[in-house]
Amino acid sequence: MSIPDEKTLPLAGTRVVEFTHMVMGPTCGLILADLGAEVVKIEPLSGDNTRRLLGSGAGFFGMFNRNKQSLAVDVKDARGREIVLKLAAGADVFSENFKGGTMDKLGFGYAALSALNPRLVYVSHKGFLPGPYDHRTALDEVVQMMGGLAYMTGPEGRPLRAGSSVNDIMGGMFGAIGVLAALQQRERTGRGQQVQSALFENNVFLVAQHMLQYAVTGQPAAPMPSRISAWGVYDVFTVKDDEQIFLAAVSDTQWALMCREFGFDDLLADERLASNNDRVRAREWLLPVLRERFVDFDAPELGARFERVGLPYAPITKPQDLFDDPHLLSTGGLAPVTIPADGSGAGRAIDTRTALLPLTLDGERLPLRQPPPALGEHSRALLHGLGYLDGEIAALQAANVVRLPSPESGVA
């Protein structure tokens, strides 16, 4: 598979100044960077905190900061602020996800930067859009709890957050969608605008189908573990050697295919199971019958037979198993990447593979052009591009206004 020329990527020639941390803002920058934008990540001299996270946060920096440049600068110093303002003056997009008021205090708010650069698209990623809640501190888990998603995910009485940073990631996606729309509109108007994305509103969008389910049926949506399925056969089955597999037959045609494949002629002839809605009403007794009939099959055999006749199925896969997924490996869905020593949380560089954006353009995956940067890796080059001379850069470094790569990083 060929790799698109960097100059032909959709956002080639677009400069993004990214003043973000954690997941939501960096996801927006990741998408824009993968699409070809030059994304300059502004970091404090100590670096983005996600460089040092352990546990469930250990993958944040490496996942959401590829294809970006790192400029480490003290923006509390007037000389550091001047550097950021010079970048913003020539940028197309400014992205931030800090607490409300932080950017204004630094002189990087929308009003200030749009006056400096009227063509600038300014995207803010917040916990809430403006309103009664916008003073609250929000996290992905907070909005999952207050936005109905945790209720829908866990069993009755046990609200449970989803197993990924769904709102942070999708909030960054909606921020990127807003940026793309604003850039398109700028082509007509010549002016930039402010774009806002928010965790809570994103979460509401995720559960809106259940809101409308209530509006249509008059019945509250039940949490996923106890929901009334829309399909007769649509569940996880425990089979031979206690392996598990998800099996489904969601139409009358699929039901017939399944029964014929496994010789369930008695079920196919049972008038109580004639339609999908009949099978939904019969799930209380039908699923135990199917569990008993499938229990002695091994999971790979069931999967192979379901696949052969075109029925939906899925192994129960752990995230680490995806590194060896044959489909991802054969289609280029995983790209080799080196996470720098100061971005791994482990204090050493990590060679691994990472998931690319889940789309193709003209049949091509969007490439990983450069790995997540070492802290301050591009500070010197970016300052040169702004007109700073070597002596001035050395003086800024000596005054702890900017940070250049450490010798052990291996970056010149």
pLDDT digits (tens, 9 = 90+) for 292-344: 999 999 999 999 999 999 999 999 999 999 999 999 999 999 999 999 999 99
pLDDT surpasses 60 at 412? no
Q: What's the mean pLDDT in 381-389?
A: 98
What is the pLDDT confidence band of residue 121, given thresholds at 50, 70 and 90?
Answer: very high
What is the pLDDT confidence band of residue 1, given thresholds at 50, 70 and 90?
Answer: very low
The predicted structure's pLDDT at residue 4:
55
Instruction: Identify which of 49, 109, 51, 118 has the alpha carbon closest to the alpha carbon of residue 84.
Output: 109
DSSP assignment, residue 133?
Answer: T
What is the pLDDT confidence band of residue 400, given thresholds at 50, 70 and 90?
Answer: very high
What is the pLDDT confidence band of residue 2, given thresholds at 50, 70 and 90?
Answer: very low
Query: Cβ contacts of residue 375 below 8 Å, gap of 6+?
Result: 43, 47, 51, 70, 72, 340, 342, 343, 403, 405, 406, 409
pLDDT tens profile 162-200: 999 999 999 999 999 999 999 999 999 999 999 999 999
Instruction: Identify which of 95, 32, 65 has the alpha carbon closest to the alpha carbon of residue 354.
Output: 65
Instruction: Identify which of 305, 367, 379, 315 has the alpha carbon closest to the alpha carbon of residue 336.
Output: 367
What distance, in Å, lies between the first and last C-alpha atoms of the chain?
A: 32
Long-range Cβ contact pairs of 392-398 (< 8 A, separation 24 or more):
396/79
The first and second tokens of residue 399, run together, are 């005054």
256 in Cβ contact with 265 (< 8 Å) = no
The predicted structure's pLDDT at residue 163:
93
Tally of CA atoms within 13 A in the half-sphere of 276 that contains its CB: 14
In the predicted model, what is the mean pLDDT of the chain? 95
SS3 306: helix
The predicted structure's pLDDT at residue 7:
74
pLDDT tens profile 248-302: 999 999 999 999 999 999 999 999 999 999 999 999 999 999 999 999 999 999 9
pTM of the model: 0.93
pLDDT tens profile 5-59: 677 899 999 999 999 999 999 999 999 999 999 999 999 999 999 999 999 999 9
What is the pLDDT confidence band of residue 411, given thresholds at 50, 70 and 90?
Answer: low
pLDDT tens profile 82-113: 999 999 999 999 999 999 999 999 999 999 99
The predicted structure's pLDDT at residue 126:
97
The predicted structure's pLDDT at residue 224:
84
Instruction: Identify which of 137, 122, 142 has the alpha carbon closest to the alpha carbon of residue 202.
Output: 142
- What percent of the chain stands above pLDDT 70? 97
pLDDT tens profile 132-155: 999 999 999 999 999 999 999 999
Q: What's the mean pLDDT in 208-231?
A: 90
Instruction: Identify which of 45, 110, 97, 41 has the alpha carbon closest to the alpha carbon of residue 73.
Output: 45
Distances (CA, A) of 292 to 100, 237, 238, 288, 309: 57, 10, 10, 6, 21
Residue whose structure tokens are 């900017």 = 402
The predicted structure's pLDDT at residue 407:
62
Number of other CB atoms surrounding residue 16 within 10 Å: 24
SS3 230: coil
The predicted structure's pLDDT at residue 409:
56
- What percent of the chain stands above pLDDT 90? 92
The predicted structure's pLDDT at residue 347:
87
What is the pLDDT confidence band of residue 408, given thresholds at 50, 70 and 90?
Answer: low
| Domains, the chain | 6-206+331-409 (3.40.50.10540), 229-315 (3.30.1540.10)
The predicted structure's pLDDT at residue 232:
93
